[in-house]
Structure 1
Amino acid sequence: MERDTQPCFMSDHEGFCGSIKNSTRDFVVTELDVQGRPVTSTGRPEVAEVRQGSRKAGTAGVTTVVQNGDGVLSQEGFDLSAILGSSVHEALGGFASRTVACVEEQKEDTEMALGTFPEKQQRASVHRAVRHNYPFLMTVTRQTGILVKVDPDFRELSQLVSEGEAEDFFRFIDAKVPGSVFTFLPDDSKEHRTSVHHFISRRFGKLVETKSFAEQDQTAIAVRLREKGNQGKKSGKRSASDREEQAEIYSGFTLKKENLETLEAISYMAAVLGVLPSDFSYAGIKDKRAITYQSMVVKKISAERLLEKASEFERRGMQLSNIHPASEPLRLGRLQGNHFDLVIRDLKPHGKCSSSDLEALVKAAVENVKARGFVNFYGPQRFGNSQTVQADQVGLALLKEDMVTAVRLFLSPEEGEDLQNKAKRHFLRTGNAKESLLLMPAYKARERLMLRALHRYGSGQEGCGRAWLSLPHGMRVFYLHAYCSRLWNEAASYRLNTLPHWPVQGDLVCTRPQRDASATEESDAAQVHVVTHAEEKDNAFSLKQVVLPMPGNSVKYPENVLGKWYQDRLAQDSLSSCRFRITSLKLNVPGCYRPLLAHPHDVTYSLCVKEEPQVTGPSPPHSTASLTLSFDLDSSCYATVCLREIMKCEP
């Protein structure tokens, strides 16, 4: 059980002993996307060259794309139905069909409004998806609204080459994949080729360069993206109209990792790819001592580049699959939950129960938890399973704005003589950030960022503050969330050990349907209600609707003894006046509401007992038992906590 948290169970079954994570293969976690679908890849990715067909004569433009294991090109990032909604998507399809005639017949321009999109990233997704699906249209931003109309540049190019070639060329321009080349169909007319050269130079000369080349007695035009440093401030007329909306290059993929923390895996991939850890986004953090599958998106890296580095990732226990273009980063919490496939080995009864009772003990345990759920504690992974200094301690120092202590806690070494621990010990002993940086492995991106800043700015209060600012925002706020999670665990224990196991006056309850009130840490305050005396008497709510606040500056606290407990507990840590906002580090913790209870879904289990003969002596055969267990949990719920309720001990 976590530090300072009293054991709390929802069922009174006996439980059993056993061990988990004997091998990472005994603990497999598969992320479930927002539709509840597993992100598990069906096969290894491969690069294929496909030729995009044209509606008119010929085929042009060899374009490198990425296929998944089934050989199907992923277009997830360009799904207009998902981005715009089915009704607007259908209307856009009709508009596009009508405007094809405008392109061919040189008719007056028409336009269509797609709606308003308040967030910049939303608008970027719309721009990119529309242009990919309908290259002959251009998108224009007006305040937060987006209009589409015929692109005059497309119209002009389609008079020089076939519409199919023009479509493929504009997809090439919008993709901006580094190192890519577009080739027009062979053209024997020098005068005509000159016209194409002049058009591209005039409209896109800051972005691309063109060259005619001869092959097998035919001459064609190749278009290559300029090196980034050679591009002008503008990338042609097409993008200048709304260049502030241009989407970055994003590549999505499924990451399989083994015996690695999510942030550690990101740090390693960032070092290999030459980008920052903050260029990676993900929906949730996964266990270290496990095999895990999760969705990720990386910015500024093409799918081809990811594939080039696949072998380096594999040497570190990571495999990438289902690599595809993406339109935007992932948001933390943008998942329905996780599916777990677990094996618990060496099962034994607690106390005086005999081994013959094991099957009955397992059945009672699993069925009880299926029916009653478990206390929704944050698991030890939230704080650092085996770390000497845990994440919540760092978070507390940050909330006190004691930057020096927070840095020293962050750089506290673990047991072991590997390079990262040697580097940390050297810094704590000498304070020499430069020498410590030379010792720190390249893939420890967080530690290297901090040491580099400490070397530059010093290790005083201001220098340590700058060192924290050198880390990505998500990493900085992680430590504050860890502290708030620790308090939530303690509050849950206090609530269940002090108050009845039903909603009482002053408790907070969520009025949404229970499955919707999953622990996504995004509960709306408007749906949180304070239980009245009359509602307690009428049993208006159930315990599974009770939520507890994660501390922050925008939450309300229970209006009973639990609310007083929160005040006293924060005062104990000298945070009575804490605003949960650290301006110097650009951190703000509004707080949220987390359900007191969680329930596993789609539970299946199987007990296996094997007789193993003794190697020597007349002793009777020895039996070993293992339990195979599978279930789904909502996001931010912990399988180890569910197992603790089932087994009635630390798994």
Structure 2
Amino acid sequence: MDKKRMSFPVYFKQRYGDFIVREVSEDGKIVTLTDTTTLPDWDKQVEESQSQTYTDEDVVNAFKDIIGDEQVAVQLLSYSKMDSKVVKDKFQVTGKVTEEKELRKQFHDAVRKYFSGNLESELNNSGKEKSIEVFFPQKRRRMMSKNTARGWPSGKPEYLQFVLYKENIDTTVALEALSKATGLPSKTFDTAGTKDKRAITSQLITIKKVDAKRIRDSAAKLKGIKVGNFSYVHKPLKLGSLHGNHFTITLRGIEAPMDVVVQACESVKKFGFINYFGTQRFGTSAIPTHHVGKYLLLSKWEEAINLVLTPRAFEKWEITEARIHWMKTKDATSTLQVLPRYQIIEKILLRGIEEYGCNLTAFSKLPLNMRLLYVHAYQSYIWNEMASKRIDMAPTPEDLVPIPGDLVYDTKLNDHIYVDQNNISNYTITDVVLPLPGYSVKYPKNAAYDHIKEVMARDGLDPTDMKRNIRIYSLPGGYRFLLRKPMGLEYSIYQYNDLCIPLALTDLDVMEGKKEPQSAPDGSRTALVIKMGLDSATYATMVIRELTKYETSQIAQKELQSKYDREQEGKEEEAQEEDIEPTEDFQINADE
């Protein structure tokens, strides 16, 4: 916001460990992995019983007491020792045990206790006479999923909650790995939201009626993933059920004077930052997602399709080749033949075109969340434009105050109202909100609104006309605060030499008793480590952008990397001319 402050480039996410994200739960606690072994009290008795060994006599006596027939108990024991790969028939138990609910429960519990999952049991009501069938699980993955909830103890909360800690892995990929390890469908794991791939993150997960031991033991050998801090809760997580996130961010390669860096940190602490939607909202390619969204709002389906399939920079050649083929031929069938299999979105779209032509029906084959992403990106683009105009209306951060015509959120009224001369003294700039374009929102009555009317008019759109015949493209809109302040912002400046050395502790580091990194007195390089909390739907990249006055997008970071590489080449050439060894240095690797 302070236009007079000096900008300084930084290496952002140079190492994935430079971006540590810990979810902040709805009760305001920072989610941290502190224990990977301890089971909840509910499970400790089960684990102890499973660690015991039983004699044949113990097994026979236990089932004789339940069934009332020693011979059947002996036969059941013999059945349990048969080769599960050969035996196809189920062992049938009839009589009194099938009629009384309490006896049936005791029987099922005994099967779990004495046969440790090697046998399973279930009641069969389909015949003339009830029976309990005992059998060897054949399709283990399916049975584990199907029988998860069987025998859940009365009074035990239905949901297991645990911390998922991951390194350089997307949340979806991590849950897929857990799914394969446990034999549970990935859709059964609940989250409050996804976390960055190129980062070290900790977040809560819930799953219904699954024991902690199963998750703990199954995840033990997974690479880059740890689970722990198990507990049982009464409610599952839902998307958005978090207070926000806590960040520990290392910014490397700082060459600006230290007084400039300190001034920047103090400015963000005092004034906050513009609550822009981050660049990731608009995609990482040369074809921004909001351009596609514009055409969807204009009902120009063919233009939207062509944008999705247009060639873009920084892609693999085989993908670019397929995109060029589409632009030249407009033939979906032949394009599909050259398109790499892993390009899922393009493949779905081309198959839709193949069947229906280049129209709405074809585009509608894309997943709903993807289609919504495009139109929401356009809303975000317009919001960012409006925010920039509103900030420009104040020459300095000190002049940034509510003005007549602004919209504010009044907590007492629980409503968005206009600022006027009568109520202006009741609000500060942190109360000001801006709308995302939609048919159910109010717009500011000042130059900020005039600006976005002009921007949308150039796109052929009108902010007061956002209803569409197709429901998902009919946008109600919403509100977003103009400014946000980081919570509890702390910063430290480090000198260092080794480009690979971590400058912040992860949850695993703390568990292993590692000490806090120290600044090297003789360090030739400078880094800034920031710790802060942010509300949900607020972008850490926008804090860094405000702090450094420098772009954090992938393209900007690649340009910075190229400049760095050129400088290093120059140093190596000088070293060779002087017949000395070049100094070791580090290359930013986006795939670290």
Structure 2 counterpart of 1:406, one-letter code: A
Query: What is the alpha-carbon distance in structure 2 between the residues aligned to residue 59 and residue 308 of structure 1?
Result: 17
8 Å contact 1:30–1:39 — kept in the other structure? Answer: yes
Q: Provide the residue aligned with 1:641 in structure 2.
A: 542
Query: What is the alpha-carbon distance in structure 1 between the residues aligned to residue 315 and residue 360 of structure 2?
Result: 31
Query: What is the alpha-carbon distance in structure 2 between the residues aligned to residue 649 and residue 53 of structure 1?
Result: 56
Compared CA separation, residues 640 and 52, structure 1 to 2 (3 A): closer
Deviation, structure 1 residue 222: 4.6
Q: Provide the residue aligned with 1:517 in structure 2.
A: none
Q: Provide the residue aligned with 1:348 in structure 2.
A: 255
Corresponding position: 1:631 with 2:532: yes
Q: Provide the residue aligned with 1:20 in structure 2.
A: 12
Which residue of 551, 562, 577 corresponds with 2:448? 562
Structure 1 counterpart of 2:249, one-letter code: L
Corresponding position: 1:258 with 2:164: no
Deviation, structure 1 residue 367: 1.9
Corresponding position: 1:503 with 2:409: no
Structure 2 counterpart of 1:625, one-letter code: T
Deviation, structure 1 residue 548: 0.6
Q: Provide the residue aligned with 2:225 in structure 1.
A: 319
Q: Provide the residue aligned with 1:534 in structure 2.
A: 422
Structure 1 residues not aligned, in runs of 5+? 1-8, 63-153, 173-179, 185-196, 212-220, 239-247, 350-354, 514-524, 613-620
8 Å contact 1:341–1:629 — kept in the other structure? Answer: yes
Query: What is the alpha-carbon distance in structure 1 between the residues aligned to residue 231 and residue 496 of structure 2?
Result: 45
**2:423 aligns to what SS in structure 1?**
helix
8 Å contact 2:406–2:419 — kept in the other structure? Answer: yes
8 Å contact 1:508–1:528 — kept in the other structure? Answer: yes
Deviation, structure 1 residue 160: 2.7
8 Å contact 1:336–1:634 — kept in the other structure? Answer: yes
8 Å contact 2:162–2:227 — kept in the other structure? Answer: no
Query: What is the alpha-carbon distance in structure 1 between the residues aligned to residue 527 and residue 26 of structure 2?
Result: 33
Deviation, structure 1 residue 496: 1.6
Compared CA separation, residues 451 and 204, structure 1 to 2 (3 A): farther
Corresponding position: 1:283 with 2:283: no
Deviation, structure 1 residue 201: 1.4
Q: Counterparts of 1:259-408 in structure 2 under 5 Å?
A: 282-295=191-204, 314=223, 319=225, 321-322=227-228, 330-349=237-256, 355=257, 358=258, 360-384=259-283, 386-408=284-306
Query: What is the alpha-carbon distance in structure 2 between the residues aligned to residue 634 and residue 307 of structure 1?
Result: 30
Corresponding position: 1:158 with 2:101: yes
Deviations 1:47-103 (A, max 9, x none): 99x98979xxx989x9xxxxxxxxxxxxxxxxxxxxxxxxxxxxxxxxxxxxxxxxx
Compared CA separation, residues 209 and 417, structure 1 to 2 (3 A): farther
Compared CA separation, residues 272 and 479, structure 1 to 2 (3 A): farther
Which residue of 6, 12, 27 corresponds with 1:35? 27
8 Å contact 1:33–1:39 — kept in the other structure? Answer: yes
Q: Counterparts of 1:210-289 in structure 2 under 5 Å?
A: 210-211=132-133, 221-222=134-135, 254=164, 256=166, 258=168, 282-289=191-198
8 Å contact 1:271–1:445 — kept in the other structure? Answer: no
Corresponding position: 1:573 with 2:459: yes
Structure 1 window deviating more from structure 2 (581-590 vs 641-650): it is: 581-590
Structure 2 counterpart of 1:332, one-letter code: L
Compared CA separation, residues 278 and 201, structure 1 to 2 (3 A): closer
Identical counterparts, % of pairs = 28
Deviation, structure 1 residue 389: 0.7
Deviations 1:279-322 (A, max 9, x none): 886434544543444456789999999899979985xxx63635
Compared CA separation, residues 374 and 27, structure 1 to 2 (3 A): same
Deviations 1:457-493 (A, max 9, x none): 233214423323xx1x322212211111111111011
Q: Provide the residue aligned with 2:559 in structure 1.
A: none
Query: What is the alpha-carbon distance in structure 2 between the residues aligned to residue 287 and residue 259 of structure 1?
Result: 8
Compared CA separation, residues 53 and 609, structure 1 to 2 (3 A): closer
Corresponding position: 1:650 with 2:538: no
Which residue of 308, 312, 323 corresponds with 1:410? 308
Q: Provide the residue aligned with 1:143 in structure 2.
A: none
Query: What is the alpha-carbon distance in structure 1 between the residues aligned to residue 401 and residue 6 of structure 2?
Result: 23
Query: What is the alpha-carbon distance in structure 2 between the residues aligned to residue 643 and residue 554 of structure 1?
Result: 33
Structure 2 residues not aligned, in runs of 5+? 53-96, 151-157, 499-521, 553-592
